[in-house]
Amino acid sequence: MTLDEPIAVVGASCRLPGGINGLDELWTALVGGRDLVGVAPPDRFDAKRWLSANPRRSGKSYTVAGAFLEDVAGFDADFFQISPREAAQMDPQHRLLLELAVEALDDAGAVTSELAGTDTGVYVAVGGHSYALLQAMRPRLMDSHSALGIMTSFAANRISFHFDLRGPSLVVESACSSSLVALHEACEALHRGRVGMAVAGGANLLLAPTDFVASSRATMLSRRGRSQTFSAAADGYVRGEGGGLVVLKRLADAQRDGDRVHALIRGIGTNNDGHTPGISVPDAGAQLSLLEQVYRRAGVDPRDVAYVEAHGTGTPVGDPIECRALGQWMGRTRGAADALPIGSIKTNVGHLEGASGIAGLLKAVLVLRHGEIPASLHGTPLSKAIDFAALGLEPVLARRPLAVNARSLVGVNSFGAGGSNAHAILAPPPPTAAAG
């Protein structure tokens, strides 16, 4: 066991807008160029009540555009041996993660009855605390289950409880990078022998209109209602919801157990921007430092990266900073004829905030599996604030094949509004363990 041993992704699940309930459906949506952004379903909140074209109007949002799941209320409480009364008090993000855990472990071929008592760890991210706020507005409906139903730690603890898992069980909160930071913690635990298997990922649901108001007042959201990553028209992000989980093992253990492997995590790391001009302002230097750390520790030449799934929120500040770091570490040494392809799943499903990293990771897994890079949407005209040619970067605006040679690695970026950065390097599975 070594700290640079590849980690195998042996199971995966996702629930994303547009009725996406698995990796195959996600791939179909990506290669089909589907834009899954819409407006809030009427069973969430009255969108018209909270919308105002005047961006300065207090208590209102200038947009309620978002990418929403079709159903966040449905839940098979009997399957999880939870009473309907208790289920009603549970944060829907916790319910979603329970369902995703079952699906990911099933995809991994795990015999769940044999997991009981094992040191399997659970590392998850949840995107917000809207359900707690909504319950606080109706205190008379609170009951004996309310306190546990909204406790953040229970997003992980309920998974451990249901399967009787004895490894670490924790929630990671680092804003938009949370789920990729959770993945990092899971990989570190596997590398150090603290766990034999881990479940990692995150979920984010858009339940309260007040979150749109707050983000609008901070001018974070796109007025057009589209994540226009790398575009001259980029004016903010679009909120999205959903989630995903992966099941992880050390590669040697996965091979010993005869597991199907979706992809390998060759390297992963995190850091923080430290002090910047503003706590929500990213720092290219810190992002570059993280890239150097992750690739050197993994012993990977950045020229062997065939694609990077960028954080790519579509903000006029964040996109140029991210591209500067990617260009300095990966792009500038490649030459104009070999520019590094970059893209962002946020142009399809919006920004899943705390769960955005796992969405990007699952797209990267599929890029490796199918040997193709789906187009990122809404990218034209390209931003003049980013010198893509000088940086050796090329946004993927049309579906294209992935370079088939030694450069078969894929990078995944994820950054948090408070400065927590994360990056992962993915490689194809060994031929004998490839996912079908």
Q: What would the pLDDT profile of 238-291 be if each residue is shown by its tens digit?
A: 999 999 999 999 999 999 999 999 999 999 999 999 999 989 889 999 999 999
Domain boundary among 256, 286, 312: 256
Residues 246 and 302 in one domain: no
Which tokens in the block code for residue 247?
């099941």
Contact between 412 and 346 under an 8 Å Cβ cutoff? The reply is: no
Question: Interhelix angle for 284-298 vs 318-326, to 10°?
Answer: 40
Mapped onto helix, strand or coil, the DSSP state of residue 39 is strand
Which CATH number is 170's domain given? 3.40.47.10
Domain that holds residue 320: 268-429
Residues 227 and 307 in one domain: no
In-domain check, residue 272: yes
Cα separation of 303 and 406, whole Å?
9
Mapped onto helix, strand or coil, the DSSP state of residue 170 is strand
- Number of domains, the chain: 2
Cα separation of 174 and 419, whole Å?
8
Residues 227 and 340 in one domain: no
Cα separation of 102 and 93, whole Å?
14
Residue 405's pLDDT is what?
Answer: 65
State the pTM of this model: 0.96
Residues 250 and 293 in one domain: no
What are the CA-CA distances from residue 308 to residues 336, 341, 365, 409 (Å)? 17, 7, 12, 9
Distance of CA 143 to the CA centre of its chain: 33
In-domain check, residue 262: no
In-domain check, residue 263: no
Q: Report angle CA 205, 210, 216 to the nearest 5 degrees.
A: 100
- What stretches of 24-136 adopt beta strand conformation (E)? 38-39, 65-67, 121-126
Mapped onto helix, strand or coil, the DSSP state of residue 82 is coil
Burial-class residue 404 by CB neighbours within 10 Å (0-12, 13-18, 19+): exposed
Residues 286 and 422 in one domain: yes
Backbone angles phi, psi at 159, to 5 degrees: -65, -45
Query: Strand 242-250 and strand 198-204: pairing?
Result: antiparallel
Mapped onto helix, strand or coil, the DSSP state of residue 345 is coil
In-domain check, residue 340: yes
Cα separation of 141 and 150, whole Å?
14
Residues 365 and 399 in one domain: yes
Neighbouring residues of 5: CB distance < 8 A, sequence distance ≥ 6: 191, 250, 251, 252
In-domain check, residue 87: yes
Domain boundary among 236, 256, 276: 256
Residue 28's pLDDT is what?
Answer: 98
- Ramachandran assignment for 91, one of left (phi > 0), alpha (psi -120 to 50 degrees), beta (any other): beta
Residue 97's pLDDT is what?
Answer: 98
Contact between 373 and 341 under an 8 Å Cβ cutoff? The reply is: yes
Which residues of the chain have a pLDDT value below 70? Answer: 1-3, 136-137, 144, 405-407, 433-436
Distance of CA 93 to the CA centre of its chain: 14
Mapped onto helix, strand or coil, the DSSP state of residue 424 is strand
Residue 245's pLDDT is what?
Answer: 98
Residues 216 and 133 in one domain: yes
Cα separation of 170 and 14, whole Å?
20
Domain boundary among 202, 228, 256: 256
In-domain check, residue 124: yes
Q: Which amino acid is located at 15 in the chain?
A: R
HSE at residue 298, side-chain half, CA atoms within 13 A, is 27
Residues 19 and 161 in one domain: yes
Cα separation of 161 and 83, whole Å?
15
Residues 220 and 300 in one domain: no
Please report which residue ranges of 204-341 form alpha helices under DSSP H.
Answer: 209-217, 251-256, 284-298, 318-326
SS percent in the chain: helix, strand, coil, step 5: 35, 20, 45
Residue 434's pLDDT is what?
Answer: 62
Residue 312's pLDDT is what?
Answer: 96
Residues 310 and 208 in one domain: no
Residues 20 and 139 in one domain: yes
Residues 123 and 163 in one domain: yes
Residue 422's pLDDT is what?
Answer: 98
Cα separation of 41 and 341, whole Å?
35
In-domain check, residue 1: no
